[in-house]
A and B are shown apart, each in its own frame.
Chain A
Amino acid sequence: MGEFRMPSLGSDMIEGTLRKWKVKKGDVVNRGDIIAEVETQKGIIDIEVFESGLIGELLIQEDEKVPVGTLLTHLLPLPSAATPIPIPIEPILVQKENGIVRASPLARKMATENHLVLENIIGTGPEGAVTKADVQVALKKTKEPESQISPTPSTTSDIRDAIAKAMQKSQQEIPAYTLRTVLDLKPCLEDLALRNKEKDPKERLLLVAPFMKATGLALKDFPNLNGWWIDSFQPSTEIILGMVISLRSGGILVPTIKNPGALSLEEIMVQVSERIIHARSGHLKSSEVFNPSITMTNLGEAGVESITGIIYPPQVALIATGGLAERPWAEHGMLTVRPTIEFTLSADHRATDGTYGSQFLHRIKEILANPKQL
């Protein structure tokens, strides 16, 4: 039997509020189905299940705030054949413990798991046996004083609060260094125009796709920028690139793209589009907000030339791109005008040094100078 617990959607998430159940007891769910909406400091996230099964008792009520890891419901095995799906019936075992308490095995297990004393639970089953429902009632009573039920979601202020805490922590704890480089974007823009020429508007690529792919590829050779500083540097086995999405109502959300170096530009674009749409409509899925191992941000559209980004702890690096701008460009003793963009790397000096960071930026530059290989 599977357990469905409050997921952790980032190393900084300690609790979440179950805003809405999308299923009820006895519903059949398939892998990838959305079964609940959970409000976190990253906004409201649609929570998916990762295995198929039958939804068990809903153990947490809507609007209840619980710590990460709290059991929300069970996923029971699907009955074979297409017979009507029976709601699992809890067998009541009429058995005495210490000569006094009767309880179903499930109730006993739940009570033990939650450190409840069976003797203190009022049984409503046959011969006063304690049932699962009784344990749930008891559990709820113990939780009530600490559970905070807010009548209306306050996502925007929660997001603000999360940003405030993270940015303050970053400035207080991370000795960051910042490196900048200006890239000649002519090859990249020409390549993109060529790729987009035959494409339907729906399939057109934006610059973010080659930027993400180049970052993913470059990071393979620079693993010390990809991970977290938690007392010491902990490299991430995968490249989980966070992309900063600004919300028009204020605040930012950071969904993630996994291993962009291994995806095609088209695949990256599809994922980026989905995440932007989901983020702005308040329906990011849990699989779209894995714990980022590095973050990328772009403020160029807002008209700025460059950004000195603040690293999102416990990550150790942040890549920022500024605005696309024509600049005078000297090359081979000639002066021309080129479309350019400024890349900035903010990195944690505890994890890497400036030379390492500058080599990484140089690698991105090399990759984007040869965009056909992307």
Chain B
Amino acid sequence: MTRVQLLDLLKSYLKQIAPDSDPSALQEDDFIKQKLGLDSFDFLQFIILINDELKINIPEENYGQVLTLKNLSDYLVHAGSEKLMNT
């Protein structure tokens, strides 16, 4: 999976969680929660979806490292490089 594909995938997850938001307009450095108006519950749903689909469990203490798409995609590539690159 290329980085662009990963970003698109993450945006599609966000669209699932908040259907009336517009994740396609999200820039890599935007804070995801604030930009899309997500609350803690939505953000947890996002973490759950990542866990279910990509099989990468982001522990709560690492939430601070995944607040933007850029940080999140770096984190995911680092945490599950094999899984992501082979899919």
Could you tell me which A residues sit within 8 Å of B by CB distance?
Answer: 193, 196-197, 200-202, 204, 206-208, 248-249, 272-273, 276, 301
Chain B nearest CB, measured from A197 CB (Å) = 7
* Pair count A-B, CB < 8 A: 35
Closest beta carbon of chain B to A82's beta carbon, Å: 39
B41 touches A201 (CB 8 A): no
The total of chain B residues at the interface (CB under 8 A) is: 17
Verify if B24 is at the interface (C-beta below 8 Å from A): no
Contact across chains for A248 and B21 when beta carbons are under 8 A apart: yes
Task: Provide the bound-state CA to CA distance between A206 and B18, in Å.
Answer: 19
Binary A-proximity of B19-50 (CB < 8 A = 1, otherwise 0): 01100000000000000010111001001101
A197 and B59 form a contact (CB under 8 A)? yes
A208: chain B residues within 8 A (beta carbon):
41
Complex Cα–Cα for A243 and B21 (A): 23
**Which residues of chain B are within 8 angstroms of A273 by Cβ–Cβ distance?**
41
For B46, the closest partner residue in chain A by CB is A201
Q: Which residue of B lies closest to A272 (CB)?
A: B41
Known: A200-B51, A201-B51, A301-B40. A193 touches B61 (CB 8 A): yes
Residue numbers in A under 8 Å from B67 (CB-CB): none
Complex contacts, A196 vs chain B, CB 8 Å: 60
Pick 15 A–B contacts, CB within 8 A, sort by A.
Answer: A193-B60, A193-B61, A197-B59, A197-B60, A201-B44, A201-B47, A201-B48, A201-B58, A202-B48, A206-B41, A248-B18, A248-B21, A273-B41, A276-B41, A301-B40
Inter-chain CA distance A208–B40, complex, in Å, is 10
Tell me the bound Cα distance from A357 to B47 in angstroms: 38
Q: Does B65 contact A (CB under 8 A)?
A: no
* Interface check B57, CB cutoff 8 A: yes
Having A249-B20, A273-B41, one finds 13 other A-B pairs with CB under 8 Å, namely A193-B61, A197-B59, A197-B60, A197-B61, A200-B51, A200-B57, A201-B47, A201-B58, A204-B47, A206-B40, A206-B44, A248-B18, A248-B21
What residue of chain A has the Cβ atom nearest to residue B21's Cβ?
A: A248
**Minimal beta-carbon separation of A43 from chain B (angstroms):** 15
| CB-CB contacts below 8 Å: B8-26 with A | 18, 20-21
Contacts of A276 in B (CB 8 A): 41
Q: CB-CB < 8 A to B50: which residues of A?
A: 201
Residues of B within 8 A of A206 (CB): 40-41, 44
CB-based nearest B residue for A246: B39
By the criterion CB–CB under 8 Å, are B20 and A201 in contact? no
- Contacting residues, chain A, for B40 (C-beta < 8 A): 206-207, 301
Q: Are B37 and A248 in contact (CB under 8 A)?
A: yes
Q: Who on chain A is nearest to B38 by CB?
A: A301
Is the Cβ of A201 less than 8 Å from the Cβ of B57? yes
B75 to chain A, nearest CB (A): 14
